[in-house]
Amino acid sequence: MSIRLRLALQFGAILAVTLLLFALVIYVATQQSRRVLFTESLFKRTLVVGHAYAAGQSEAADADAGHRTAYRHYLRQLYRTLPAEEGRVYNAAGRLVFREGQGPGRAVPAAWLAEVRRTGRAVLEPETNYHETVGLLYHDARLGPLVVVASSVDEDSRQQLGQLRQLLAAGLLAALAVTGIGGWGFAGQALRPLRRMVREVDGITATDLSQRLTPATGHADEIGRLAQRFNRLLDRLESAFAGQRTFVRDASHELRTPLTALIGELEVALLQAERPAAEYRRVLQRTLDSARRLNELTNGLLQIARASDDPSQVPMAAVALDELLLLAHEQVLRRYPTCRVDLAFGDTDADAADAFAVRGNEALLLAAVLNVLDNACKFSGSGGTVTATLATGPARLVLLVADEGPGLHAEDLAQVFVPFFRAAAARAVPGHGIGLPLTARIMALHGGTVRLASQPGQGTQVWLEWPRRGAGAA
């Protein structure tokens, strides 16, 4: 079932129930109102019957003028006979002394007559099938207390309530028809942007993510916000696909370089059957260098993939950054024994054993720190000095690494986190351009940040910042 049909049916059902309840309230209220009016009309009939009976029992020809005046007054009020109308009069002894009309003539219970005498008025037979019987205590100075009974059929209410039922039923059906047609049209109009979105989404493919959904015109509603969110998703997907294509292209190029060198050395070695031992050693050394370079590049790619994983899938534990920095210092000195790396630790509370503790993955954090120190030593050159300062803040831990390298231009500084990007001044230095991108991903995985500041000829400063434990660490 389509959303349009479901909305039209639900809207129609809600309106149908509402109209049905409203019609029932109107019908019941009208029925109760007419029943009360009919009951009061019967009580007025009992007064007429009582006056008529008392006047008929008067012996004097000039009967009481007040009785005749009252009788005429009520007779003018009740100018017509009701259907199946019947009137009865019972004397003080409970005996039927007067009866007129064409009713069934059923006997009246003595207990009910006693109730009328006690209360002054009572209803013997509540309206059933529009028929009702009432009784009234009528006082006459000469005849004593009389019980006057009147009964009739409310034929007017029967006809008018029947017409009201027909009118309400016809109105309900007409309202449902109009609501169904209107609901179908309004639902189609409301879902028109959604149908347009479906058509536009069908035209978006993995090879062309540049298309975007047409934004909703006018007021921003839920569908308009959905289109905005979907366009933002397409922006992220397009960036991810473009980054993936760039990454695959650059990775393929970087992997091809050592493989080409490796194959070339082996092919040259096989061109001549016999070579001196020194030549074979040279070929093997170059082959080993290419294999090591290939291994380093492969490890870097694997680390980038691992740093891009879901944080919930990466094991995390408490890591002491001061100890991690000492370990990275030891390893980088083995790689660059001629480079001087000075370490500095900010002032901390001596009693705080975890002053430099963060929550993270030790292997990945070590790789991030090593990449920064490795770049600093590599670009500082032989005999250069690198300074690494680890300091604590109110909510963050900061590692500042400063080198004496050639520095970077502003346009190169904006591209340093792109995988395989290498500045023009750094292309003469061995490397693959994956160190800083890997560091940035590792820091993002741990809820931290990495930023650079550099100017040509003045070296480069790199800041690694982590949230402290208990202050939003990942």
Residues 6 or more apart from 188 whose CB is under 8 A from it?
4
| Per-residue confidence (pLDDT) for residue 464, from 0 to 100 | 92
pTM for the model stands at 0.47
Backbone angles phi, psi at 334, to 5 degrees: -70, -30
* DSSP-based three-state secondary structure for 291: helix
What residue has token string 């009582």? 50
Contact 121, 137 (CB under 8 A): yes
| Per-residue confidence (pLDDT) for residue 232, from 0 to 100 | 83
What is d(CA 111, CA 96) in angstroms, rounded to the nearest whole number? Answer: 15
* DSSP-based three-state secondary structure for 252: helix
Chain-centroid distance of CA 426 in Å reads 51
What is d(CA 1, CA 231) in angstroms, rounded to the nearest whole number? Answer: 28
What residue has token string 């990495």? 450
Residues 6 or more apart from 101 whose CB is under 8 A from it?
84, 85, 86, 87
Residues in the chain: 474
DSSP assignment of 346-405 equals ----TT-TTTTEEEE-HHHHHHHHHHHHHHHHHHH-TT-EEEEEEEE-SSEEEEEEE--S
Q: What is the mean pLDDT of each run of 10 residues along the chain (474 residues)?
A: 76 85 90 86 83 68 51 54 78 83 72 87 76 86 85 83 88 86 79 77 72 68 77 79 66 66 77 74 79 71 60 76 89 84 75 74 84 84 84 86 83 72 59 73 85 85 83 43
| Side chain identity at residue 41, one-letter code | S
CATH architecture of 222-305: Orthogonal Bundle (1.10)
Contact 152, 140 (CB under 8 A): no
| Side chain identity at residue 430, one-letter code | P
| Per-residue confidence (pLDDT) for residue 473, from 0 to 100 | 40
Contact 453, 280 (CB under 8 A): no
| Per-residue confidence (pLDDT) for residue 400, from 0 to 100 | 92
| Per-residue confidence (pLDDT) for residue 348, from 0 to 100 | 60
For the record, the structure tokens of 128 come out as 């059933």
Which stretches of 197-262 are assigned E, i.e. beta strand? none
Class of domain 314-467: alpha beta
Sheet of 131-140, strands arranged across? 96-101, 86-90, 144-153, 131-140, 121-128
CATH architecture of 3-161: 2-Layer Sandwich (3.30)
Residues of the chain with CATH 1.10.287.130: 222-305
| Side chain identity at residue 266, one-letter code | L
DSSP assignment of 68-132 equals HHHHHHHHHHS-SPPTT-EEEEE-TTS-EEEEEESS--PPPPHHHHHHHHHHSEEEEEEEETTEE
| Per-residue confidence (pLDDT) for residue 67, from 0 to 100 | 52
Residues of the chain with CATH 3.30.565.10: 314-467
